[in-house]
Amino acid sequence: MKLVALLLCALALAACNRPAPPPDQPAVRGEGTSATKALVLTAAELGTLGETLAGSVTGTSTESVAMDGMVARLQQGGVDVVVALGPNDLIPLDQAGLIHPASGKVLAHVPLLVVAPQTAKDPPATLAALAAATCPIGVPDKSAGFACRLAKQTLTSVKVNCNAERLVPDGLAQLLRRTEASELPVSVVPATALLQWPHKLKVVAEVNTEGIDVIALTVRGSTNLAAPQIVANLAAAAKQAFAGTHLAYAPPEKGDGKNGLFVYAGAGIREPLDTAGSLFTAQTGTKVHYSYTGSACLLAQITLSQKGDLFLPGEVFYMEQAKERGYLKEKRHVAYFVPVIAVQKGNPKGIHTLQDLTRPGLRVGLGEAKSCAIGSLTEKLLAKAGLTAAVEKNTKMHTPMAAELGNALKLGSIDAAINWDAVTHQFLSSVDAVTIPEQDNLTTAIEAGVLSFTKQPEPALRFAEFLAGQSGQGVFEQAHYTIDLAKPVFAMGVGQ
């Protein structure tokens, strides 16, 4: 198929055209006294892509392991550079302290593709067509990491019920094998999967423009002095290899101080921050740009890049982690997040307490604890109530961002979810909020932290103070965020 052929040809060309290594510039390990090749560990999910790229750079040897086994392999030692999917799937590496700060470089951007058997006639070729069709849709299972969540998130955005029988989850290799055999009329997969299974499949459409990054990074603790240059060489090789292909991607530099402020912000804070950024720009002339995603993923992004100006996670826990790592210069208080139980409109299941979430047959959605602030706080909330195991039995969905829980309720995929008050308010046309008694609940502050490596400390602090001041507070209050815990968005008794 054209995509695979073109990509493999480009990779082969990059490998063949590389210059011979200078004899006096070997890769060095251990205080620069002994010459050896840098070991590049590539994610097995990249198929031949990772090893081919690593093989196109001089001074390297390669090894491959699945993403879910990468932490264990790195903890064994001996690895200098990692080529993996990210940044979401790099959260475990970041939490384990295995990423060397400021070492990350994006090699490629991998979109999600709709693939069909080579012999298929007129398969659904757009997201709208997938939503309208009644055929089964193959999607990656949890073993595919973020690709699984991104596929479901993409389909949910066009009102495909992700709990419906038409969604068929499976491992990537098996998924592609079943699609090739026409057991599945279409599947939604990351483009790199085709490098693992380049057989009788055709690409019908690209259905997600955000996709997944392929990232190279230096492993914390590596003593190979050549490792940073290996990462830079991988980025250069990838740029050449992907030029003009379906996977071409030239990531913009973020947080370099040239185009205004760059803010890492929790996805649940998007609405007020977009408005506040526009007001701040109008008043000061300083533009504000954002990266919105789950708070744990934001922290991994900060570790990888060591660039940017401010950090606004959805929970204090992540701000404390940033402070412990030396990323934080100073901070300002902005607002609060208060968890509520979000239910379908009219509360047809009669849910009134956290204990009710344990009732047999109930379909519950929760944030993913390792990825987002609402997931992290929900884990603590359920542990406090002694309900972790009982609620987990009813949990049908874990999402990497709070807004996806609202969408799932709106589509009827779940009966209830624990979500932020402000995010739940955004879905009030389709959901209701059940408050949690103060003595049983856990709240968290929304804070604006100025990053220690900002190149614009004065404008960054000015924006943090703008958010904490009267104008910023007004924006958050208008967007239905809790400013004063004595006056929460949903007063006690609402939805009870």
pLDDT tens digits for range 338-371: 999 999 999 999 999 999 999 999 999 999 998 8
Please write the tens of the pLDDT for every residue from 308-322: 999 999 999 999 999
pLDDT in the model for residue 302: 95
Please write the tens of the pLDDT for every residue from 171-189: 888 898 999 999 999 999 8
pLDDT in the model for residue 216: 93
Q: How many whole angstroms separate alpha carbon 4 and alpha carbon 193?
A: 10
pLDDT band at 158 (very low <50, low <70, confident <90, very high): confident
pLDDT in the model for residue 212: 82
**Alpha-carbon torsion (211, 216, 219, 220), positive or negative:** negative
Residue 304 in tokens? 């990888």
Q: What is the mean pLDDT of residues 44-54?
A: 76
Arithmetic mean of pLDDT over the chain: 85
Q: How many whole angstroms separate alpha carbon 128 and alpha carbon 414?
A: 22
CB-CB contact of 444 with 316 (8 Å): yes
Highest mean pLDDT out of 49-63, 205-219, 415-429: 415-429
Q: How many whole angstroms separate alpha carbon 304 and alpha carbon 306?
A: 6
Between the alpha carbon of residue 96 and those of residues 220, 288, 427, the distances in Å are 10, 31, 36
pLDDT band at 95 (very low <50, low <70, confident <90, very high): very high
Whether residue 139 is predicted with pLDDT greater than 80 in this model: the reply is yes
pLDDT in the model for residue 22: 37
| Percent residues over pLDDT 70 in the chain | 85
Whether residue 45 is predicted with pLDDT greater than 90 in this model: the reply is no
Whether residue 297 is predicted with pLDDT greater than 50 in this model: the reply is yes
Q: What is the pTM of this model?
A: 0.82
| Percent residues over pLDDT 90 in the chain | 58
What string of DSSP letters covers 7-50? HHHHHHHHHHTPPPPPTT---EETTTTEE-PEEEEEEGGGTHHH
pLDDT band at 135 (very low <50, low <70, confident <90, very high): confident
Domains delineated in the chain: 2-108+212-242 (3.40.190.10), 110-210 (3.40.190.10), 261-335+446-478 (3.40.190.10), 339-434 (3.40.190.10)
Residue 231 in tokens? 């990462």
Residue 481 in tokens? 């965020």
Please write the tens of the pLDDT for every residue from 210-245: 668 889 999 999 999 999 999 999 988 887 766 655
Least confident among 227-241, 251-265, 299-313, 409-423: 251-265
Q: What is the mean pLDDT of residues 366-393?
A: 95
Whether residue 148 is predicted with pLDDT greater than 80 in this model: the reply is yes
Whether residue 428 is predicted with pLDDT greater than 50 in this model: the reply is yes
pLDDT in the model for residue 469: 97
Residue 185 in tokens? 């009329």
Closest by CA to 412, choosing from 204, 166, 156, 151, is 156
Beta bridge partners of 365: 397, 417
Least confident among 37-51, 60-74, 362-376: 37-51
Whether residue 282 is predicted with pLDDT greater than 70 in this model: the reply is yes
Report which of residues 70 and 167 the model is more confident about: 70
pLDDT band at 163 (very low <50, low <70, confident <90, very high): low
pLDDT in the model for residue 133: 84
pLDDT in the model for residue 242: 65
Q: What is the mean pLDDT of residues 111-131?
A: 86
Whether residue 198 is predicted with pLDDT greater than 70 in this model: the reply is no
pLDDT in the model for residue 221: 93
Whether residue 11 is predicted with pLDDT greater than 50 in this model: the reply is no
Note the Cα 154 to chain centre separation in Å. 13
pLDDT in the model for residue 34: 36
CB-CB contact of 407 with 156 (8 Å): yes
Whether residue 448 is predicted with pLDDT greater than 50 in this model: the reply is yes
Whether residue 17 is predicted with pLDDT greater than 50 in this model: the reply is no
CA angle, residues 301, 302, 308, in degrees to nearest 5: 115
Whether residue 433 is predicted with pLDDT greater than 90 in this model: the reply is yes
pLDDT in the model for residue 291: 92
pLDDT in the model for residue 209: 58
Q: What is the mean pLDDT of residues 49-68?
A: 85
